[in-house]
Structure 1
Amino acid sequence: MTEQRLGILGGMGPQATQDFYQRILDRTDASCDQEHLPTLIWSDTSMPDRTAAILGGDAEGCYRRLLEGARLLERGGCTVLAIPCNTSHYFADRLQGEISIPLIHMPRETVGVLAAAGQKKVGILATDGTVQTGIYQKECGARGIEAAAPPPEVQKLVMSIIYDEIKRGEKGSREKFAVIDKWLRAAGCGGAILACTELSVYRTYHGLPDYYLDAMDVLAEKCITACGYKLRMV
């Protein structure tokens, strides 16, 4: 049997990549080094900003960079690929067509968890790139779930937490998040997806109730099981 090796194409951002790998470690049922999942991490911090590239920049250049990273990990013997960046999944199906190892589709897997839980309407907290390209709306629609994107004034707060705070090494504003939370509940959302890995980092710092499903958590668990390892019971 071929040794399973997880490839993480990260650097989008680097703090999110570090947080993601910690979740892999935390959720693996391991009692010694040798029971953990062999992992190769390529933190490509020179990757163009995905939102800027998709919404008006060099989307093709961004895609080529992602493909280069994916192939690097594939050549490194990785048997499963994860990209802890939601916006980059705009390119996920195209990437999968050009590599021979499975790419775990974070938005698709996350929406699958919501569908299994019987959710009917959820809020999407993500970058402008993820929201405007409809990455999560498409996956939700395929599973009969209504996806609610924030209005412009609330979306600005989401982007501010991501870009002005977390990506700059700050912990994120509780006050801004409280406004976002108020809107979600007033809009009748039964829950919300943390659909940006910087928001996953925010959750690591501050903690959030189960109302929020963290796409990074879903991806971490799927990586572990896809490689044939067991999840630690929590």
Structure 2
Amino acid sequence: MREKGQKVLGIIGGMGPRATQLFYKMIVDKTEAHSDQEHLNMIVLNHASMPDRTAAIKSGDVEELYHKLLHDAKFLEVGGADYIAIPCNTSHLLVDRLQKNLKIPIINMVKEAAMSIYCRYGENFKLGILASDGTIKTKLYQNECKALGIKTVVPSEKNQARVMKIIYEGVKAEKSVDMRELYEIEKEMKEAGCKCVLLASGELSCFKEINRLSDFYIDAMEVLAERAIVLCEKTLK
């Protein structure tokens, strides 16, 4: 698939499929292009049978997940990808380990999202983080933001259960969600003094698009899409 003068983006998707679909759409919609040929060349690997990331983290055994991700990454590398994007926040627990075994770079969504927020707001403010139990437990975003001087707030146990309900019983199950669930979470974040909230789950990215959430919510996957376009030498709209 490699062509002279054209970068190729490899995507490890399927975690979940709707999030991957949205990520692809984001890249197409955000690329300045006036013909098919001006769009970004991509290899989309929709590995829907990948083990559940949060379940793997909670069990303490991520080896199966790691080896399947590495197999997919090497598949994309051999297939001609110049960069790899993984539109799944929780799997970024393994990105540094994966990178050591690859010749091409993985675009780190956690680092890119944290830096984007830092560039927008600076330091010494509070950022709410909405994510799966696995992402929250591993403190991926909390640690990255702390290094940049950004204070983070995660939901209470009751509201974290609401976040998981939106992700698993809502988006993944393809069912509607009572918006009052989100309003309770948002109320807590605002009362805690959060200037904005980071959506650090692909399903929450889907939820944001479906429900047209306000700019109070920053989408980590959207940051990843924009960074992928720039790195692959295309122009953002």
Deviation string 1:131-185 (CA, Å, 9 cap, x unpaired) is: 0100001100110001111110000000000011100112433111111111110
**2:104 matches 1:101:** yes
The equivalences for 1:62-101 within 5 A come to 62-101=65-104
SS in 1 for 2:194: coil
Question: Which position in structure 2 is the counterpart of 1:226?
Answer: 231
Of 119, 127, 134, the match for 2:132? 127
SS in 2 for 1:170: coil
The equivalences for 1:38-57 within 5 A come to 38-56=41-59
Tell me how many residue pairs correspond in the alignment: 232
Return 5+ residue gaps in structure 1 as ranges: none
- Runs ≥4 residues deviating over 3 A: none
SS in 2 for 1:190: strand
Question: Which position in structure 1 is the counterpart of 2:157?
Answer: 152
**2:26 matches 1:20:** no
**2:167 matches 1:170:** no
Deviation string 1:20-42 (CA, Å, 9 cap, x unpaired) is: 00000000000110000000000
Letter in 1 for 2:37: Q
Return 5+ residue gaps in structure 2 as ranges: none
1: CA distance between counterparts of 2:80 and 2:216? Answer: 38
Question: Which position in structure 1 is the counterpart of 2:37?
Answer: 34
* Shift in Å, 1:2: 5.2
Contact 1:171–1:205 under 8 Å retained in 2:
no
RMSD value, Cα: 1.0
1: CA distance between counterparts of 2:78 and 2:201? Answer: 28
Question: Which position in structure 2 is the counterpart of 1:4?
Answer: 7
Letter in 2 for 1:21: Y
Question: Which position in structure 2 is the counterpart of 1:138?
Answer: 143
1: CA distance between counterparts of 2:6 and 2:177? Answer: 39
* Shift in Å, 1:55: 1.4
Of 197, 201, 219, the match for 1:214? 219
Contact 1:6–1:80 under 8 Å retained in 2:
yes
Contact 1:121–1:148 under 8 Å retained in 2:
yes
2: CA distance between counterparts of 1:102 and 1:79? Answer: 7
Contact 1:125–1:194 under 8 Å retained in 2:
yes
Of all paired residues, the percent bearing the same amino acid is: 46
SS in 2 for 1:100: coil
Letter in 1 for 2:21: Q
Contact 1:171–1:202 under 8 Å retained in 2:
no
TM-score, normalised with respect to structure 1: 0.97
